[in-house]
Amino acid sequence: MAHFVQAIALGLLIGGVYALMASGLTLIFGVMRIINVAQGAFLVLVAMVTWWLWNRTGIDPIVASVVTTPMMFGFGWLSYRLLIARIRGSSPSMSVLLTFGFALVIEGVLNLTAGNKFKSAAPSYFEESFRVGAISLPKAQVFGFAAAAGVLAVLYYVLHRTWTGRAIRAATQNPSGAALVGVSAAGTGALAFAIGSATAGVGGSILSVLYPFFPASHYEWISRLLGIVVLGGLGSLPGAVTGAAILGLAETLTATYGSLGWSTLVFYLVIMAVLLVRPQGLFGARLREDAA
């Protein structure tokens, strides 16, 4: 029983981290109908920078997100202005191909600069755990979860309580309508892309502690994150959180009771099973597509 509770607790902690990582993806899709395939590469990039900072200065990897978050905000903003904005208005598949190419470029650059070896930031508390009754919660996971929950709360606040957030949500629902009332689609796009990238600042820092990584890790991460948003329904933040929790649980339960090797596969099986029953995902809205 303690075994089971332990697995559930771990699954939820991991789910929280996944939720944060997927939130940027779903936000960007919501506003621009762009699937940012480079989001996984953003995470690995941040993990690499975090590892480097930790290695050089000894700064705690999770605290390092204070540096990496604004860095990614700027990086996202620039990426939007220099790349994404150029293909606005062409077919959605072009944006997938563009961001996919961008991900490869990041991978290639990391390969050449940081080398092709597994890395992991291991701060002093890495091996320690909190004990609650019979179950033990690794400190790294708990801190990661806390940081993720904090960032998600801020994100929710920004989207729902500030003018900027309202502009972003307005542009999500009706770009031309939003433009008519003074919300610039290009401006909101750049902002949403920057915020979406900034979530990778914290997400990547957490990643560097919890998982070993190397430049090509981004494939694994992006397919995991994309799985989460498809499961939750593209563009929905509550959907991403729910999807992340479900998949975090599925993964830890398989790892506990099955084998570690198959746990990733269970992840994909769950996604296919959900799509079989609900093609638009758990929280996916059916939009009015009949406009004619």
Q: Does 240 bind other proteins (CB under 8 A)?
A: no
Three-state DSSP state, 259: coil
Q: Which of 2, 105, 132, 134 binds other proteins (CB under 8 A)?
A: 105
CB closer to other proteins out of 80 and 143: 80
* 3-class SS string, 149-218: HHHHHHHHHHHHHCHHHHHHHHHHHCHHHHHHCCCCHHHHHHHHHHHHHHHHHHHHHHHHHHCCECCCHH
- Residues in 244-263 that interact with other proteins by CB under 8 A: 259, 261-262
Say how far apart CA 211 and CA 121 lie, in whole Å.
9
Minimum separation from the CB atom of position 9 to other proteins (A): 26
Q: Does 211 bind other proteins (CB under 8 A)?
A: no
* Structure tokens given for 197: 């990238």
Say how far apart CA 31 and CA 185 lie, in whole Å.
9
Torsion region of 132: left, alpha or beta (phi above 0 gives left; psi -120 to 50 gives alpha) = beta
Number of residues that bind other proteins (CB under 8 A): 54
Say how far apart CA 39 and CA 193 lie, in whole Å.
10
Q: Does 90 bind other proteins (CB under 8 A)?
A: yes
Q: Does 230 bind other proteins (CB under 8 A)?
A: yes
Q: Which of 74, 92, 150, 187 binds other proteins (CB under 8 A)?
A: 92
> What does the buried/exposed string (b/e) look like for 211-220 if buried means 16 or more CB atoms within 10 Å of the residue's CB?
eebbbebbee
Piece in contact with other proteins (CB under 8 A), picked from 60-68, 100-108, 130-138, 165-173: 100-108
Q: Does 275 bind other proteins (CB under 8 A)?
A: yes
Q: Does 102 bind other proteins (CB under 8 A)?
A: yes
Say how far apart CA 291 and CA 92 lie, in whole Å.
19
Minimum separation from the CB atom of position 166 to other proteins (A): 19
* Structure tokens given for 124: 């002093």
Q: Does 45 bind other proteins (CB under 8 A)?
A: no
Q: Which of 103, 206, 209, 249 binds other proteins (CB under 8 A)?
A: 103
Q: Does 219 bind other proteins (CB under 8 A)?
A: yes
* Structure tokens given for 82: 């220099």
Nearest of 21, 4, 6, 3 to residue 244 by alpha carbon: 21
Length of the chain, in residues: 292
Q: Does 112 bind other proteins (CB under 8 A)?
A: yes
- Beta carbons of 83 and 98 less than 8 angstroms apart: yes
Minimum separation from the CB atom of position 253 to other proteins (A): 17
Q: Does 285 bind other proteins (CB under 8 A)?
A: no
Q: Does 160 bind other proteins (CB under 8 A)?
A: no
Q: Which residues bind other proteins (CB under 8 A)?
A: 29, 35, 37, 83, 86-87, 90-94, 96-98, 100-109, 111-112, 116, 216, 219-220, 222-223, 226-227, 229-230, 234, 259, 261-262, 264-265, 268, 271-272, 275-276, 279-281, 288-290, 292
